[in-house]
C-alpha cells in the first residue's frame, strides 16, 4: 500500500491527460481497425482518472474551475448554435433546390444537434425554475 | 430596473417562438418553394434578432446568463457521460462483431468529437487566461 499524495494541480494534470489520451486512443484505434486495443486503452485511462482523484485529500477542482467549465460550455453551445442556425437552413434550401442530397451522416449530425439543443433548452427551463 | 426583467423575458419568449416558426417555415416550404422559404426564414430571424436587440439586451446579462451557463455545463456533462459509456460500448461491440458502424452512427460520433474538441479548446483558452503561466 503506497499512499502517494499528489497536489491538486498534479491531479488535475493527470486527470486531463488521461481523459484526452483515452478519448484519442479510443477514436484512433477504432479508425485504424483495432477496436479492442482502443477500448482497453480507454478503460485504462478511465481507471487512471479514478485513481488520480483518490490520490489527493483536498478537492481537485474548485469554484474557479467550475466557472471556467460553465463559461466554456456556454461558449461552445453558442458557437454550435450560431453555426447550426446558418448551416442547416442553407443545406435545407440547397436540398430544396436539388443542389444537395441528405446523406445518413449529415442527417445524423443534424439530429444530434437537434437533440443537443433540446436537452439544453430543457435544462435552461428546469434550472431557471428551481432558482 | 424592475420592469426590465419581464420585458426581456417576454422578448426572449417571442424571439424563441419566431425562431421556431422560422425553422418550421423553412422545413415545410423548402422542398416546394425554396425562395419563399428562405426569404420568410430570413425575415422572421431578422425580426426576432431586432426584437431581442431593442428589448432584450439583458438576455445575456447576469441573472439569465447564470442559468444558461449552468444549463450548458449540465448539458455537456450529460452528453459527455452518455458518450463516455455508449461509444466505448459500440467500439467493443463492433470489435466483437455484434455491431457495424453505419454512416448514421459515425455521423453522431463525429459530431460528439467535434463538440468536445471545441469545448476543450475553449476551456484551455479560458484556463490559460485566468491562470497565467
Q: Are the beta carbons of B59 and B8 closer than 8 angstroms?
A: yes
Share of chain A above pLDDT 90, in %: 5
Of B34, B64, B118, the CB nearest to A96: B34
- Our count of domains for chain A comes to 2
A26, A38 Cβ separation under 8 angstroms: yes
The single residue listed with the C-alpha cell 439544453 is: A120
Distance in angstroms (rounded) separating the CA atoms of residues A92 and B58: 32
User: Would you state the torsion angle of the CA atoms of residues B56, B59, B64, B66, taken in this order, to the nearest 10 degrees?
Assistant: -150
User: Is B39 in the A-facing interface, judged by CB distances under 8 Å?
Assistant: no
Q: What is the mean pLDDT of residues A103-115?
A: 86
Determine the Cα–Cα distance for residues A74 and A35; give it in Å rounded to an integer.
33
Contact present, A46 and A22 (Cβ < 8 Å): yes
pLDDT at B4: 42
Residue B49 contacts A where some CB pair is shorter than 8 Å: no
Record: contact A124-B78, CB cut-off 8 A: no
Whether B13 and B32 share a structural domain = yes
Query: Does residue A84 form part of some domain?
Result: yes
- pLDDT higher than threshold 70 for residue B89: yes
pLDDT surpassing 70 at residue B132 = no
pLDDT beyond 80 at A80: yes
- Please give the tally of structural domains in chain B: 2
Say which of A64, A113, A127 has its CB closest to residue B70. Answer: A127
Based on the fold, state whether residues B55 and B91 are members of the same structural domain: no
Residue A3: inside a domain = no
Looking at residue A3, its pLDDT comes to: 55
Q: What is the mean pLDDT of residues A36-53?
A: 89
Mean pLDDT score of chain B, rounded to an integer? Answer: 77
**Is residue A21 in some structural domain?**
yes
Summarize the confidence of residues A57-67 as an average pLDDT.
Answer: 77
Span B62-74, average pLDDT: 67
Partners of A120 on chain B (C-beta within 8 Å) are 71-72, 75
- Please indicate, yes or no, whether residues B55 and B29 belong to a single structural domain of this protein: yes
Whether residue A47 is found in the same domain as residue A87: no
ipTM comes to 0.78
End-to-end CA distance of chain A: 46
Distance CA B124, CA A84 (A): 23
Task: Say how far residue B14 (Cα) sits from the centre of its chain.
Answer: 18
Interchain proximity A38–B91, CB inside 8 Å? yes
pTM reported for the whole predicted model? 0.72
Q: Do A75 and B124 form a contact (C-beta atoms < 8 A)?
A: no
- Three-class DSSP category at A119: helix
If asked whether residues B74 and B105 sit together in one domain, one would say: yes
Closest CA to B84 of A60, A22, A108: A22
- Same-domain pairing of A87 and A44: no
Distance CA B120, CA B112 (A): 12
Tell me, yes or no, whether B52 and B66 share the same domain.
no
Given a cut of 80, whether residue B53 has pLDDT beyond it is: no
Helices A63-96 and B62-95 pack at an angle, to 10 degrees, of 70
In this prediction, residue B103 carries a pLDDT of: 86
C-alpha distance from A1 to closest chain B C-alpha (Å): 30
My answer on whether A29 and A72 are in the same domain is: no
Contacts of B100 (CB under 8 A, 6+ apart): B94
- What rounded mean pLDDT belongs to chain A? 83
Domain that holds residue B102: 62-130
Overall average pLDDT of the B27-40 stretch? 76
Cell digits for A128?
Answer: 431557471
Q: Which residues contact A26 (CB under 8 A, 6 or more apart)?
A: A38, A39, A41, A42, B87, B88, B91
At residue B61, the pLDDT reads 46
Question: DSSP class of residue B60?
Answer: G
Q: A25: distance to nearest CA of chain B, Å?
A: 11
Per-residue model confidence (pLDDT) at position A121: 81
Q: B26 and A71: CB-CB below 8 Å?
A: no
pLDDT average, residue stretch B26-40:
76
pLDDT of residue B62: 46
**Statement to judge: residues A44 and A74 lie in one domain:** no
The Cα–Cα gap between B5 and B31 comes to: 40
Residue A131: what pLDDT? 65
Q: What are the cell numbers at A34? A: 483495432
- The whole-number pLDDT of residue B5 equals 46
Q: Give the confidence band of A41 by pLDDT, cuts at 50, 70, 90.
A: very high
- Section B78-90 average pLDDT: 88
Mean per-residue pLDDT, A34-38: 88
In a shared domain, residues A28 and A83: no
B43 and B90 in a single domain? The answer is no
Interface test with A, best of B8, B39, B67 (most A CBs within 10 A): B67
Domain housing A80: 63-130
**DSSP output for A15-53:** HHHHHHHHHHHHHHHHHHT-HHHHHHHHHHHHHHHHHHH
CA dihedral A37, A40, A42, A46 (to 10 degrees): -170
For residue B29, the chain A residues in CB contact (below 8 A) are 96
Amino acid at each position: 500500500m503506497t499512499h502517494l499524495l499528489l497536489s491538486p494541480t498534479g491531479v488535475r494534470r493527470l486527470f486531463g491527460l488521461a481523459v484526452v489520451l483515452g478519448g484519442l486512443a479510443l477514436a484512433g484505434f477504432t479508425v485504424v481497425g483495432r477496436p479492442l486495443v482502443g477500448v482497453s486503452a480507454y478503460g485504462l485511462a478511465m481507471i487512471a482518472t479514478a485513481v488520480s482523484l483518490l490520490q489527493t485529500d483536498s478537492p481537485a477542482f474548485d469554484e474557479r474551475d467550475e466557472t471556467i467549465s460553465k463559461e466554456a460550455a456556454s461558449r461552445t453551445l453558442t458557437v454550435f448554435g450560431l453555426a447550426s442556425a446558418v448551416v442547416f437552413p442553407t443545406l435545407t434550401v440547397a436540398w430544396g433546390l436539388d443542389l444537395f442530397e441528405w446523406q445518413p451522416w449529415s442527417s445524423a449530425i443534424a439530429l444530434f444537434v437537434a437533440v443537443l439543443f433540446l436537452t439544453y433548452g430543457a435544462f435552461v427551463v428546469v434550472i431557471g425554475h428551481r432558482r | 430596473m424592475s420592469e426590465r426583467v419581464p420585458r426581456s423575458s417576454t422578448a426572449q419568449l417571442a424571439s424563441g417562438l419566431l425562431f421556431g416558426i422560422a425553422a418550421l417555415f423553412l422545413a415545410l416550404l423548402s422542398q416546394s418553394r425554396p425562395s419563399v422559404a428562405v426569404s420568410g426564414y430570413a425575415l422572421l430571424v431578422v425580426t426576432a434578432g431586432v426584437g431581442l436587440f431593442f428589448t432584450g439586451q439583458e438576455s445575456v446579462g447576469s441573472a439569465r446568463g447564470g442559468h444558461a451557463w449552468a444549463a450548458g455545463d449540465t448539458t455537456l456533462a450529460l452528453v459527455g457521460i452518455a458518450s463516455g459509456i455508449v461509444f466505448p460500448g459500440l467500439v467493443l461491440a463492433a470489435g466483437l462483431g455484434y455491431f457495424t458502424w453505419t454512416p448514421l452512427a459515425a455521423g453522431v460520433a463525429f459530431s460528439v468529437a467535434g463538440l468536445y474538441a471545441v469545448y476543450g479548446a475553449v476551456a484551455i483558452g479560458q484556463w490559460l487566461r485566468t491562470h497565467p503561466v
